[in-house]
Amino acid sequence: MGKTLFRKIWDRHRVHEEPGKPVLLYIDLHLIHEVTSPQAFEALRKAGRRVRRPERTYATMDHNVPTDPRPIKIQDANSARQIEVLAANCKAFGIQLFDLDSPHQGIVHVIGPELGLTQPGMTIVCGDSHTATHGALGALAFGIGTSEVEHVLATQCLWQRQPKTMQIRVDGQLPAGVSAKDLILYVIGQIGVSGATGCVIEYAGDTIRALSMEERMTVCNMSIEAGGRAGMIAPDQVTFLLLRGRPHAPLGAAFERAVRDWETLASDPDAEFDQRVAFRAGEIAPQVSWGTNPGMVTSISERVPDPATIQDSVARRSTELALQYMDLRPGMRLQGLAIDRVFIGSCTNSRLSDLEIAARYVAGHKVAAGVRAMVVPGSRQVKAEAEKRGLDKIFREAGFEWRESGCSMCLGMNPDILQPGERCASTSNRNFEGRQGRLGRTHLVSPAMAAAAAIAGHFVDVREWPH
């Protein structure tokens, strides 16, 4: 029987195993940031342990950094302290850091592929649940907690039970105005926020194959929102093209050798998955989340659910609470619903192509009166490239704020937050209660939907929107 992409990578990284125990898995690449690493270094120090392979760990500052023009002095004392501690830890243990002054700084999941650190066939971990993003390049990448960050620093390995596998197949052509973000929101809406718990997802089918590298990252990024341990896509020419010439990718003949190896990673035709689901791209419409988790999502042309029609008491209660929090009426339409804020950014949708698409909807228009809209590029490189193409001008002229890179209002650990009761069209990945600011209301959408909402002042169906 053939092997899956996941299984091939898993098998290549087994260091030790015995019956009844988890496998000791080797980790090729470890990414760290300021929020989930300080306690790991502290514990290492206490135990008198060293970092086993400092050259396999890279650090950046992204979660709590203000997005004001650089250089910045961080006002919040605790955030400033986390930034200082990360810098000191990287220095003490010999880890390369992309700090706020580095032209390579950015959201950890944006800079990994951008720098060519992320490569097919690798095992990659990070103390962050959206690590699955890197799986878009055909790597096995998953989020870990701080104790495991410490474990990887000390041993370059992790104990892992072999997860189950799930294939999510999407075939057919995405309708005009429907993006990778809509695709993944739709899938999560279908399988639910715990639909892939315990599983590594492989996305397959001709819709997935036709996606650009950046679109594939958007899809894999949200695997955790379906409960998935990781999400991955077999590497192909699109992947190799992205990697060629990146600073940390192999060079010359070594690159060609690597490609020959990477070509063998795709799941064998007769490989079996523990679970399979399939969808038709043609049935997907632009999505908007209406509730307080990413599975509470509907297409722009449909209505939000009515709890009265839900049989299961736990599900009914969840729906009631979500509608109440979001201040929505049962059965209402989201099209036409007024918004206060727009956030274009996050590791889901802050890459160059996301900004280009949003700019197309914005060009020549003005942000609606009363709406505050911001664009936060995923990395300094994305920002520089976007500026080279004049995107910053388009956004600024329309009335958008054009900011420095970081996680920003995706999680509101920096000053970019929603005020209580504000409603936001956001290209990020989580609409949890208070995620973007206490009592703030988040609607997850694609960059096109967010841009059009900023101009209209309310949600619109981008399929009917001139751009």
Partner 1 sequence: MSANGHTELLTMQPFRQLTAIAVPLDRANVDTDQIIPKQFLKNVLRSGLGKGLFFDWRYLPDGDPNPEFVLNRPEYRGAGILLARENFGCGSSREHAPWALKDFGIQALIAPSFADIFYNNCLQNGMLPISLPGAEVDRLFQVVSAAPGTQLSINLEKQHVSTPHGETFAFELDAYQKQCLLEGWDSIALTLRHEDEIAAFEARG
Work out how close the CB of 350 gets to ligand SF4 at its nearest, in angstroms, rounded to a whole number. Answer: 7
* Binder among 5, 9, 36, 134 for partner 1 (CB under 8 A): 36
| Length of the chain, in residues | 467
- Please report, for residues 93, 123, 300, 429, the alpha-carbon distance to residue 445 in angstroms, rounded to integers and kept in the order given: 40, 30, 10, 9
Q: Tokens 């990697």 belong to which residue? A: 243
Residue 360 contact partner, candidates ligand SF4, partner 1, none, CB within 5 to 8 A by sort of partner: none
Binding of partner 1 by 413 (CB under 8 A) = yes
Picked from ligand SF4, partner 1, none, the partner binding residue 107 (CB below 5 to 8 A depending on kind) is ligand SF4
98 DSSP β-pair partners: 60
| Contacts of partner 1 in 15-34 (CB under 8 A) | 15-16, 20-22, 24, 26
- In 104-246, the DSSP E strands lie at 123-126, 140-143, 157-160, 164-171, 199-204, 230-232
Site for partner 1 in 341-400 (CB under 8 A): none
- Residue 103 binding: pick among partner 1, ligand SF4, none (C-beta 5-8 Å cut-off by kind): none
* 8 A C-beta contact, residue 153 and residue 160: no
What sign does the dihedral 261-267-271-274 (CA atoms) show?
positive
Interface residues with ligand SF4 (CB under 6 A) are 62-63, 107, 109, 128, 130, 346-347, 407, 410-411, 428-429
Identify which of residues 76 and 302 has a Cβ nearer to partner 1 in the complex.
76
Residue 433 has phi, psi (to 5 degrees) of: -55, 130
Task: Estimate the share of the chain in helix, then strand, then coil, as percent rounded to the nearest 5.
Answer: 40, 20, 45
Minimum CB distance to partner 1 smaller for 270 or for 312 = 312
Count of alpha carbons within 13 angstroms of residue 107, beta-carbon side:
31
3-state SS of 340-400 is CEEEECCCCCCCHHHHHHHHHHHCCCCCCCCCEEEECCCEHHHHHHHHHCCHHHHHHHHCC
Of 37 and 167, which CB lies nearer to partner 1 in the complex structure? 37
Q: Nearer Cβ to ligand SF4, position 157 or 413?
A: 413
156's contact among ligand SF4, partner 1, none, with CB below 5 to 8 A by partner kind, is partner 1
What phi and psi values does residue 339 have, to the nearest 5 degrees? Answer: -125, 160
**318 is a contact residue toward partner 1 (CB under 8 A):** yes
135 is a site residue for partner 1 (CB under 8 A):
no
With contacts defined by CB under 8 A, how many residues of the chain interact with partner 1?
66
Residue (of 363, 361, 395) closest to 376 by Cα position: 395
Task: Please state whether 182 falls in left (phi above 0), alpha (psi between -120 and 50) or beta.
Answer: alpha
Applying CB under 8 A, which part among 95-103, 181-189, 191-199, 345-353 lies near partner 1? 191-199
Q: Which does 388 bind (CB under 5 to 8 A by kind): partner 1, ligand SF4, none?
A: none
Report the 10 Å Cβ neighbour count for 433.
16
What is the nearest approach in angstroms of partner 1 to the Cβ of residue 323? Answer: 14
> If contact means CB under 5 to 8 A according to the sort of partner, which of ligand SF4, partner 1, none does residue 340 touch?
none
Pick the closer one to ligand SF4 by CB: 5 or 40.
40
Pick the closer one to ligand SF4 by CB: 292 or 429: 429
Q: How far is the CB of 222 from partner 1 (least distance, A)?
A: 12
96 near partner 1, judged by CB under 8 A = no
Is residue 293 within the footprint of partner 1 (CB under 8 A)? Answer: yes
Supply the Cα-derived Rg of the chain in whole angstroms: 21
User: Are 359 and 390 a contacting pair, CB within 8 Å?
Assistant: no
Which does residue 439 touch among ligand SF4, partner 1, none (CB within 5 to 8 A, set by kind)? Answer: partner 1
Question: Rule CB under 8 A: is residue 87 a binding residue for partner 1?
Answer: no
Residue of 265, 269, 242, 189 lying closest to 2 (CA atoms): 269
Q: Residue 237 CB, nearest distance to partner 1 (Å)?
A: 26
Yes or no: say if 362 and 399 are a contact pair by the CB < 8 Å rule. Answer: no
First to last CA, the chain: 50
CB of 60 to partner 1, least distance (A): 16
Residue 77: φ, ψ to 5°:
-65, -40
Q: Which CB, 353 or 442, lies closer to partner 1?
A: 442
Q: Is 50 in the site for partner 1 (CB under 8 A)?
A: no
What residues line the site for partner 1 (CB under 8 A)? 15-16, 20-22, 24, 26, 35-36, 38-39, 42, 47, 49, 52-53, 63-64, 76, 78-79, 81-82, 85, 127-129, 143-148, 150-151, 154-157, 159, 161, 193-194, 197-198, 224, 227, 229, 293, 295, 314-315, 317-318, 321, 411-413, 420, 430, 432-435, 438-439
